[in-house]
Amino acid sequence: MNRSTRPGKRPAYHHGDLKSALRSAASSLIAERGVDTVSLREIAQIAGVSHTAAYRHYADKEAVMADLAEAGFRELNASMRDAMASIPGGVTRKLQAAGSAYVHFGVAQPHLLQLMFGAAIADWKRYPGLVEASDALYAALTEIITSGQEKGKFRAGDPAELALAAWSLVHGLALLICGRRVTGSDDALFVERASQRVTALLIEGLTGK
């Protein structure tokens, strides 16, 4: 039976739990059919609460999507940092691990990646938490580039510009795979090999080797 038609008493949520439930419902819906056809009323229905309760937390659907995108940026940042922390050795291997983690995040949650970087959220200035989370991801990439430069491993240059180039490279691969634009997109081994090759090219560009 579809969750939206299940009978029974609606669950009682604490404040934070309800927001989490609404985000989860929104994520499920956009994974199923994209952002455009989803409404806040439907998100509330899937979460098992009244639309009135949903409006106490979110002004509109865009606000839910902004909150979901913010959570996505924070999750991606944590995934990259965890990947770097798990890799022994130098800065080049850590950057490769971060790039691979980025690609795998996008492949695992393509609907979320597309929301984070798409046009569904018209004015980011309305959502300072989203801006901060996105900036923190950029800062994490800039930080690893700066560390490599300080250790004499990476070429000289503006670390923010080099971080943007690195971000563009792994993000482009993630989008190509998510969009099924390359043969083998459904093959986990292909995804791993592709991410390794692309991050290796990135390292070559940064080290000149």
Confidence check: pLDDT of 90 > 80: yes
Three-class SS state of 184:
coil
What pLDDT digit, counting tens, does each position of 98-123 carry? Answer: 999 999 999 999 999 999 999 999 99
Structure tokens at 13: 């949520």
Confidence check: pLDDT of 8 > 60: no
Report d(CA 189, CA 76) in Å as an integer: 21
Residue with tokens 């949650």: 109
What pLDDT digit, counting tens, does each position of 44-61 carry? Answer: 999 999 989 999 999 999
Topology of the domain covering 61-207? Tetracycline Repressor; domain 2 (1.10.357)
Task: Return the CATH class of domain 9-55.
Answer: mainly alpha
Report d(CA 68, CA 37) in Å as an integer: 16
End-to-end CA distance of the chain: 57
Helices H, strands E: what count in the chain? 9, 0
**Percent of the chain at pLDDT exceeding 90:** 75
Label residue 73 by pLDDT band (50, 70, 90): very high
171: how many CB neighbours lie within 10 A of its CB?
16
Domain ranges of the chain: 9-55, 61-207
Residues 6+ apart with CB under 8 A from 183: none
State the chain's mean pLDDT as an integer: 89
What pLDDT digit, counting tens, does each position of 138-170 carry? Answer: 999 999 999 999 999 999 999 999 999 999 999
Confidence check: pLDDT of 67 > 70: yes
